[in-house]
């Protein structure tokens, strides 16, 4: 009698063929659209985010910003090609129907009777949009639900005094936000991809739409407010002054498509006196966050993470080992931002 | 088939017949009563407004909220009566054969 050979686990070997780069829809959340200074009063332009085109405009008075679906609910003209801002409204070029920043139809210049639905609700899809942190932010929900949470106060960027820093960065990653953010709990990669001296301890706590991440017992403390905003504070003791100095990375990523992400970051620090050792130290901290700082062995995200993000595929059934971080709790939390928006059900 | 007894805007009477299952608006529009039915049944234009003869009005299903809102919206421009209906919301049937309607004034 011959013994049966051990059957091969084919799933282990072949699942790769069915993997997608980012098998998720655009997640729900508040997202950065642009810096406020980049949209002048009365300006209108087309933008591509959340897997589609939108019309971004600012009222002539300057105090209202709208982000609308491009296609007029009347006869489908693209409002961003030939449309214009009229007062607080955006006007379709085709028949001059006007919409406010909430998508309410405010004028049909030739109709004797406004269609009743125009009194009841918005007829043009718009995204709830606010200006905060000197930026324009829009709330994306695939079924047009109102915002589920407010954006937080961030002293480093909202406190008029005490903080400074004009460094900003913007990068495109060919993957989705979940995959990018997963690196926060994947502490083992810090040693091997970033050449950190060791694998730091990590803890992640989840509360509604928020996640608090602590890497290295307070060395990096990150607060994520939904997929589109992450505030990471790097706390390090300066060996010269013996002080713990905090530098802050405010990260605001936007899903351009379901599997392409525009990553944006602002770097802020305490407004130390020019020429002080604290200022020198905190500037070095920020260099470290972005890329390898001079004289350092380890590497910031810019230099090394992209090669992985841009080429990986999401493994729904990853083979994890001891020493890997708390990846599954992170994935379970992130599921809350995905909404089934099967339009055939509407 | 349903027979429709129509009073035109000029007061003349004309009887037409149309297939059951179609909206009354389409039958009137296609028979050239100068009834527009512009929005195609979305209850957003008010151009298919008719008055239904009382006896027949009692046999029709109740108005939806949207139909009521459209009728209220045109009330500033034309006379709206308790028997006013948007003809796009009335599906013809054999049971409605003989229905008597009057084309309302244009908005």
Domain membership of residue A151 (yes or no) is no
| Same domain, residue pair A208 and A259 | yes
Edge to edge, the sheet with strand A52-58 lists A44-49, A52-58, A65-68
Sign of the alpha-carbon torsion through A137, A141, A144, A147: negative
In this structure, what CATH number is given to the domain that contains residue A129? 2.102.10.10
| Same domain, residue pair A58 and A90 | yes
Assembly ipTM: 0.84
One digit per residue, pLDDT tens: chain A, 346 residues?
Answer: 566 788 899 999 999 999 999 999 999 999 999 999 999 999 999 999 999 999 999 999 999 999 999 999 999 999 999 999 999 999 999 999 999 999 999 999 999 999 999 999 999 999 999 999 999 999 999 999 999 999 999 999 999 789 999 888 899 999 999 999 999 999 999 999 988 899 999 999 999 999 999 999 999 999 999 999 999 999 999 888 899 999 999 999 999 999 999 999 999 999 999 999 999 999 988 888 877 555 556 666 666 899 999 999 999 999 999 999 999 999 999 999 999 888 887 7
Domain membership of residue A17 (yes or no) is no
DSSP helix/strand/coil, A328: helix
Give the model's pLDDT for residue A298: 62
A113–B39 CB contact, under 8 Å: no
Q: Given B66, B77, B107, which is nearest A116 (Cβ)?
A: B66
Give the model's pLDDT for residue A2: 63
The closest of A264, A222, A275, A268 to A245, measured between CA atoms, is A268
DSSP helix/strand/coil, A225: strand
Domain membership of residue A16 (yes or no) is no
| Same domain, residue pair A41 and A189 | no
CB-based contacts of A35, cutoff 8 Å, min separation 6 = A134, A135, A136
| Same domain, residue pair A333 and A226 | yes
In this structure, what CATH number is given to the domain that contains residue A202? 3.90.380.10
Residue where a domain stops, chosen among A107, A140, A173: A140
Give the model's pLDDT for residue A240: 85
- Domain holding B46, by residue range, is 2-103
Q: Residue A113: its chain B contacts at CB < 8 A?
A: 45-46, 73-74, 77, 107
Give the model's pLDDT for residue A182: 96
Q: Give Cα separations from A96 to A5, A64, A85, A205 (angstroms).
A: 75, 20, 11, 51
Residue where a domain stops, chosen among A140, A174, A191: A140
Is B107 near chain A, with CB under 8 Å? yes
In this structure, what CATH number is given to the domain that contains residue B41? 3.10.20.30
pLDDT in tens, A269-316: 999 999 999 999 999 888 888 775 555 566 666 668 999 999 999 999
B72–A116 CB contact, under 8 Å: yes
| Same domain, residue pair A226 and A328 | yes
| Same domain, residue pair A130 and A228 | no
Give the model's pLDDT for residue A345: 77
B107–A117 CB contact, under 8 Å: no
Q: Given B42, B44, B107, which is nearest A112 (Cβ)?
A: B107
For B7, the token pair is 């009073």
Is B45 near chain A, with CB under 8 Å? yes
Q: Which of residues 110-129 of A touch B (CB under 8 A)?
A: 112-117, 119-120
| Same domain, residue pair A53 and A134 | yes
| Same domain, residue pair A181 and A218 | yes
CB-based contacts of A231, cutoff 8 Å, min separation 6 = A152, A154, A156, A222, A223, A224, A225, A248, A249, A250, A251
Contact B24, B87 (CB under 8 A): yes
Exposure letters A190-229 (e unless 16+ CB within 10 A, then b): beebbebeebbebebebeebebebbbbeeebbbebbbbbb
B74–A119 CB contact, under 8 Å: no
DSSP A85-111: EETTEEE-TTT--EE-TT--EEE-TT-
Domain membership of residue A182 (yes or no) is yes
Is A343 near chain B, with CB under 8 Å? no
Contact A250, A134 (CB under 8 A): no
Interface test with B, best of A112, A120, A121 (most B CBs within 10 A): A112
Specify the DSSP class assigned to residue A197: S
pTM attached to this predicted model = 0.91
DSSP helix/strand/coil, B64: coil
Domain membership of residue A191 (yes or no) is yes
Angle CA(A277)–CA(A283)–CA(A289) in degrees, nearest 5? 140
Q: How many domains does chain A have?
A: 2
Domain membership of residue A250 (yes or no) is yes
Phi first, then psi: what are they for A267, rounded to 5°?
A: -115, 125
Q: How many domains does chain B have?
A: 1
Residues of chain B with pLDDT under 50: none
- Domain holding A111, by residue range, is 29-140
Q: Residue A115: its chain B contacts at CB < 8 A?
A: 39, 42, 44-45, 70, 73
Give the model's pLDDT for residue A4: 74
Give the model's pLDDT for residue A36: 98
Residue linked to tokens 């037409």? B16
Give A341's Cβ-side CA count (13 Å radius): 14
d(CA A159, CA A126): 30
For A75, the token pair is 């006869």
């Amino acid at each position: 009698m011959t013994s049966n050979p051990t059957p091969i686990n084919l799933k282990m070997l072949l699942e790769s063929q069915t993997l997608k780069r980012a098998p998720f829809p655009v997640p729900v959340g508040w997202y950065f659209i642009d810096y406020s200074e980049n949209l002048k009063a009365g300006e209108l332009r087309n933008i591509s985010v959340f897997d589609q085109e939108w019309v971004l405009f600012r009222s002539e008075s300057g105090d209202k910003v709208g982000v609308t679906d491009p296609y007029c609910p009347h006869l489908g003209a693209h409002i961003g090609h030939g449309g214009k801002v009229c007062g607080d409204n955006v006007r379709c070029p085709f028949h001059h129907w006007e919409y406010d920043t909430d998508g309410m139809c405010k004028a049909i210049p030739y109709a004797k009777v406004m269609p009743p639905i125009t009194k009841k609700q918005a007829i043009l899809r718009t995204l709830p949009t606010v200006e905060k942190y000197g930026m324009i932010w829009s709330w994306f929900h695939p079924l047009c639900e109102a915002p589920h949470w407010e954006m937080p106060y961030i002293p480093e960027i909202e406190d008029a005094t005490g903080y400074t820093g004009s460094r900003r960065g913007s990068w495109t990653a060919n993957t989705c936000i979940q995959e990018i953010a997963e690196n926060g709990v994947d502490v083992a990669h810090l040693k091997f991809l970033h050449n950190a001296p060791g694998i730091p301890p990590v803890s992640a706590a989840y509360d509604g739409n928020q996640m608090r991440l602590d890497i290295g017992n307070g060395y990096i403390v990150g607060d994520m407010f939904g997929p589109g905003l992450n505030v990471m504070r790097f706390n390090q003791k300066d060996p010269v002054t013996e002080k713990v100095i905090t530098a802050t990375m405010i990260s605001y990523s936007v899903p351009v498509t379901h599997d392409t992400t525009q990553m944006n970051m602002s770097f802020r620090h305490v407004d130390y006196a020019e020429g002080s050792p604290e200022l020198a130290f905190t500037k070095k901290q920020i260099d470290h966050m972005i890329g390898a700082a001079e004289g350092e062995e380890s590497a910031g995200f810019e230099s090394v993470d992209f090669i992985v993000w841009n080429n990986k595929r999401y493994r729904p059934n990853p083979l994890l080992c001891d020493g890997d971080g708390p990846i599954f709790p992170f994935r379970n939390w992130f599921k809350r931002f995905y909404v089934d928006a099967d339009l055939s059900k509407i | 088939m349903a027979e429709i007894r129509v009073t035109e805007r000029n007061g003349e009477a004309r009887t037409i017949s149309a297939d059951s299952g179609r909206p009354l608006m389409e039958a009137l529009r296609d028979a050239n009563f100068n009834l527009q039915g512009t929005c195609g049944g979305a209850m957003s234009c008010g151009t298919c407004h008719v008055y239904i003869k009382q006896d027949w009005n009692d046999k029709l299903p109740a108005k939806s909220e949207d139909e009521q809102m459209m009728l209220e919206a045109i009330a500033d421009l034309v006379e709206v009566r308790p028997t006013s209906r948007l003809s796009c919301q009335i599906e013809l049937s054999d049971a409605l054969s003989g229905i008597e309607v009057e084309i309302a004034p244009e908005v």
